[in-house]
Structure 1
Amino acid sequence: MQYLPNILFAILFSLGIGYFIKNIKKLKRNIKLGKAVGVSDNKSQRLRNMVMIAFGQSKMVRRPIAGVLHAIVYVGFIVINIEVLEIIIDGLFGTHRVFAFLGPFYDILIGAFEVSALLVLITVIVFWIRRNITKLKRFWKKEMTSWPKNDANYILYFEMILMCLFLIMNAVDQTIQMMPGAPDNHYVEAGSYPVSQFLVPLFQGFNYGSAVIVERSAWWLHIIGILIFLNYLYYSKHLHILLAFPNTYYGNLKPKGQMNNLAAVTNEVKMMMDPNVDPFAAPEEGTEEEVPEKFGASDVLDLNWVQLLNAYTCTECGRCTSECPANQTGKELSPRKIMMDTRDRLEEVGKNIDANQGTFKEDGKQLLDDYISREELWACTSCNACTEACPVSIDPLSIILEMRRYLVMEQSAAPTELNTMMTNIENNGAPWPYNQMDRLNWKNE
């Protein structure tokens, strides 16, 4: 019976980590459904972007209030999670505050944990107020339906509870430490408690047995909460806690506004413009560019894996949508919805594969039309405001352009205005419906 708590902890910890690894494998599998893309270039710049944007939060602080609050939570959780290591060791080996031998340094650590916990608790409450009472407009767009809206609140409640449990655990621990001659007291005097000391009066009337029950309950609930939170990440917008780092590393390094060209189309155009090339000659062996089976994208399997990584990394913060000029003028387009729809469709495809022993069975659905409407796609002005605003280097525009490419090149389904413009370019060498000889007549009027 002496080792029963340690055995239970080991089982609980193994199940929690095992389920987390299972979800990570599924996540990796889904992302790899995307097409290959070359992102191995310029490693130093990519590493710099990851350090500055993911670690340094450089794009978050462009909106100072949200940026500073987010930085407090971010740093706070990094600091507090150092304490999780001690909890794991104590849980596995039956020790209590195993790092107490560090003496004064341990006091500093616990003090830092407590101050961080208090700051995180206050900040999370402010976040909750901004979201639910102040009701910032970007949190209440029409794509923020029941699940996205509730998910954000669930995370805030999780964080509040975890911080409170940590402080209660420390307060009762301190209470027990001060009990003279407590039986079998392995609650050694250790740690500095600048915050939880103010909670100690709530537990001073407890006897040793009752105090231990409260302390152990808070300890167990705290670690169980952490494991639940860890596994909830896969289903939550807070998956960006893990994916922000690879996403910023593999982010687009091209100048904003530079669009990618299909190699097959580029080579065809070059051949047409070169008078020395015989258009009927067979290409030399080994030089023929692979012609894609499909131009553009109508479903998630047509996108590349970085775009799918983008979809899973979306924080649903709405900065992209709040900066989008099309959305600001009442158009249907919301860059945040583009990413959310892509992720939802990818999850649907992943479940389809799971249900069919590892192969995708056609379900009669696709990203285009079933999730993202054509009206949304053509509302985009290609201004890159969304990509510039995103705090974790997500590129909604790249998905929009690929779906537009499919509509134009596969379905000839461009809007009338765009077809008219392209016809004018083909016939007149310019977007305007005037003969080249008449183009400058306006100057005579």
Structure 2
Amino acid sequence: MIAQLLFLIILAAAIFLFSKNAGKIRRNILLGKDTGRSDHPAERWKTMAKVALGQSKMTKRPVAALLHLFIYMGFVIINIEVLEIMIDGLFGSHRIFSKPLGSLYGLLIGSFEVLALLVLFSCVVFLARRNILKLKRFSGKEMTKWPRSDANYILIIEILLMSAFLTMNAADYKLQQLHFGHYLQAGSFPVSAWLSLLLPASPQSLEIIERSCWWFHIIGILAFLNYLPYSKHFHILLAFPNTYYSKLTPKGQFSNMPSVTNEVKAMLDPAFVPETIEPGRFGAKDVTDLTWKNLMDAYTCTECGRCTSVCPANITGKLLSPRKIMMDTRDRITEVGNNLDKHGKDYNDNKNLLDDYISREELWACTTCNACTEACPVNIDPLNIITDMRRYIVMEESQAPASLNNMFGNVENNSAPWKYASADRLNWAKTN
């Protein structure tokens, strides 16, 4: 009963802390402006199933896709085993699913073990790719000590959890062979049966190993759950809603601003009666000027660097990194949320996403080619944030680069971006 009570306290504390921290992230996301993303639900479910569940956009890099698939399947499927561990912990039972599932139970445990081994292998390869091969896309100005460490911590934690799981099963298997205590004959152990050869023969020692690994495995999972809100690995939860609320219109398509649309319609038609629209800022200066979907994108970012690796501006040595745009947005909205908690809603820290986090040089380096949004495996849209911040610079500050100001003037005077009159537009086609 003491062990059950202790497990209940740990489980309740873990769920409470996770709910509290996840609630803060939800609050931070909802600080963004509203945007309609509830239309065409059937198409949205299809997108989520294809991109988040089916990982269709991962396949552009086959090796990484296969290894990630092993980890993904391990995470999803082995959670069935975690459910059994939790029930056993609460009720003091042992392998409670073995009797109702019968022979299927052995197949499940055997599958879990094979997956655990594949997860171990994949994590080791990913660690080598990051720290030995040092792939270029895992580096960059934004990849400071914490993001690099975070990625390594995740992989090491998964290795430890899978090792504990297999060692627990190995001890359990050996105790079953010895008919010791309550360790009933249940399960199939294609991996841990070999691992059990390395364990001691003493039943008492085996029981200590089995119980220690059991506690380490489940407490490790609960601790990892509470690490997620502080980590890029939170994408394992947000990838599903983020892809559901993906943009269904063509990527890169600009949205019209109602206030500007009203002005244009009034200029074209003096009889037009504009709608009453609450005055607001043109574009985005800080994170609260962005939409909640932009902020969800920021929290969903996996920091994989696929966007930056295909960005033509970044490839040619310019300052822009789409990954940095997303990481800066996430850091800034987290800072705003922390200020709310500490100082209240009226507090102003005199900082903004523009200039304090993202420089104008970065923004104007973007070619709006949309390569970053095409490359993202979870449908994140850095381009939307970039164009909204550009819109603020142009429409609120009138500080566009000289080349753009020249083009704006030409459009206004000549109805074309070139400096000659529209009447002379086809002169090049005339023959002597």
The bucket for the TM-score relative to the shorter chain is over 0.9
Distance 2:425 2:50 in 1: 50
Aligned-residue sequence identity (percent) comes to 61
Q: Name stretches of at least 5 consecutive residues in structure 2 with no aligned partner.
A: none
Aligned runs of 1:395-406 on 2, under 5 Å?
395-406=381-392
Number of aligned positions between the proteins: 430
Q: Residue 223 of structure 1 is aligned with which of 212, 218, 239?
A: 218
Distance 1:289 1:54 in 2: 40
- Any conservation in 2 of the 1:175–1:204 contact (CA below 8 Å)? no
Q: Is it true that 1:299 corresponds to 2:323 in the alignment?
A: no
Partner of 1:193: 189
1:303-346 C-alpha deviation (Å, 9 max, x unpaired) = 11011000000010111111111111111000000000000000
Q: Is it true that 1:368 corresponds to 2:367 in the alignment?
A: no
Aligned runs of 1:98-137 on 2, under 5 Å?
98-101=96-99, 102-137=101-136
Mean CA deviation greater in 304-313 or 123-132 = 123-132
Distance 1:413 1:315 in 2: 33
For 1:199, what is the secondary structure of its paired residue?
Answer: helix
Partner of 1:56: 54
Distance 1:7 1:192 in 2: 30
Partner of 1:311: 298
For 2:76, what is the secondary structure of its paired residue?
Answer: helix
For 2:56, what is the secondary structure of its paired residue?
Answer: coil
Which amino acid counterpart does residue 116 of structure 1 have in structure 2? L
Mean CA deviation greater in 406-415 or 195-204 = 195-204
Q: Evaluate the alpha carbon distance shift between residue 443 and residue 99 of structure 1 in structure 2; reply closer, same or farther with a 3 A threshold.
A: closer
Distance 1:36 1:257 in 2: 19
Q: CA deviation at 1:291?
A: 4.7
Q: Name stretches of at least 5 consecutive residues in structure 1 with no aligned partner.
A: none
Mean CA deviation greater in 392-401 or 171-180 = 171-180
- Any conservation in 1 of the 2:174–2:196 contact (CA below 8 Å)? yes
- Any conservation in 1 of the 2:252–2:384 contact (CA below 8 Å)? no
Aligned runs of 1:164-203 on 2, under 5 Å?
164-180=163-179, 182=180, 185-203=181-199
Partner of 1:394: 380
Which amino acid counterpart does residue 244 of structure 1 have in structure 2? A
Q: Is it true that 1:330 corresponds to 2:317 in the alignment?
A: yes
For 2:97, what is the secondary structure of its paired residue?
Answer: helix
Which amino acid counterpart does residue 322 of structure 1 have in structure 2? S
Q: CA deviation at 1:273?
A: 2.1
Distance 2:40 2:426 in 1: 46
Distance 1:441 1:174 in 2: 87
- Any conservation in 2 of the 1:175–1:200 contact (CA below 8 Å)? yes
Q: CA deviation at 1:80?
A: 0.8
RMSD over aligned Cα atoms:
1.3
Distance 2:383 2:218 in 1: 41
- Any conservation in 1 of the 2:252–2:383 contact (CA below 8 Å)? no
Q: Residue 363 of structure 2 is aligned with which of 351, 354, 377?
A: 377
Q: CA deviation at 1:428?
A: 1.5
Distance 2:342 2:390 in 1: 31
Partner of 1:232: 227
- Any conservation in 2 of the 1:311–1:339 contact (CA below 8 Å)? yes
1:130-152 C-alpha deviation (Å, 9 max, x unpaired) = 11111111001221110111100
Distance 1:439 1:62 in 2: 43
Q: CA deviation at 1:210?
A: 1.6
